[in-house]
Structure 1
Amino acid sequence: MSTVNVFVISPDVHAEKRYDLHTTIAQLKSKLELVTGIPARSQVLTVHRTDDDDQPLATLSEDDRPLGYYSVVSGQFIKVQDTNPSASMSGRFTDVSQVEKFELTKEEYEKRQDTVKAYKEKHKMGRFAPKSEETAAPSADDIASQMPIGSRCEVVADNGVTKHRGTIRFVGETEFGNKTGVWIGVEYDDHYGKNDGSVEGKRYFTCPPNKGAFVRPKRVTVGDFPPEELNLDDEDEEL
């Protein structure tokens, strides 16, 4: 395959992009300038396995080298760092350090009648609802009946926008960390996962490395989701 789908991350951008592996790093920086607003001359590009991985797999430092030289594959993350923020718009839409904040003391907040808390209290919602009206959390069996193992599904990513397709391989409670409750084990169609179905030495299901993930049921939609086919004609389409 001569193209890859990667995630581009900068102070203001988190987007999925498609690039030709024959694109030189200099050409890639020019494309990323339009996406991130960071001038090509100020960019430092690093490749990562996940968005929170601090250890880069590679630094795209040679402008005349093609993207494929660095063994970039679909599902990886390209982080764009700005070496000269003062010369670009980078970070200006997310930096709120200079914004004057409106603050209330707890006592002042409690007295106001135009707050979310006052609305919920008036209409007996949330923690103000009568105990008899509280709805118990669905059990693992309830969720499993709605999301059977083997079902095709679509999962909303951490950014709340990107969606990935796969197959449900596990439904139930787990033993990793202090994260209680029901989890859905998904085998993604592509390498968007973080494991092979096992976490902290315990196996919940089996799949190829970096295709497995555990997500909460609210992020999963079951349906007729066939494996996606890439549209290679639209190189820079943001998904």
Structure 2
Amino acid sequence: MADVNLFVSSANATTERRISPGWTIAQLKAKLEPICGVPPVWQQLELFVGAAQEGVRIEAADEDRTTVGAFELVPYARLHVADLRPASEQLDLTDVAAVDKFELTDAEYAARSDTVLAWKRQQKLGRFAAPGAAHFAAEAAAGGVVVGARCRTGDRRGTVRYVGRVPELPRAPVPEDDDIWVGVEFDEPVGRGDGRAGGRRVYACRPSHGSFLRPGAVEIGDFAEEDPFASDDEL
């Protein structure tokens, strides 16, 4: 006889299983124990077909010789496994507080070499990654080096037009700088370009008014634009 798919239910779970009519009742109960957690000697099996309110008990005087095929196995009927043990001996698998758990302290977990944390540490990912451009851009912003801020470098004054990486420019002399550049548009034509780098427009700027500088070379402050025609003698 061909195998039959049945829904196996118990107090703790419901699952679909393929049942062979050639199994004895004893064999069936042994196979059900890992599914429902009820020892064979305490199992009471009932087969419910369709919407039937009463089931047909699968039992026999000699369960080692009686096969499951002796009962009418309708595909996708429900085979319910009742636990006949005293309530005090039954396992309540829905009570997670009663289940022993494997626990580690944060220090014990950090010391292990077979964890996701250890893998991230080895691969330098997440919080173990080297600070990147976004980190140093944030640091620059924390220091006030943000687009639109007034600034000066030496005696040249201007406005910050760009903060970030510029792949076309030389790499940072020290890793900590992480290639962050500050694009400045000076008030006067004392710059070295117009906001382009390697032919690519990085920020809009008037010709000869732009320069790329490291954040440390830029001083942020309330630096008003100077009047080149003003006289020191004027009151």
What TM-score do the two structures reach when normalised by structure 1? Answer: 0.36
Greater RCO between the two (CA within 8 Å, min separation 6)? 1
Mark the structure with the bigger radius of gyration. Answer: 2
What TM-score do the two structures reach when normalised by structure 2? Answer: 0.37
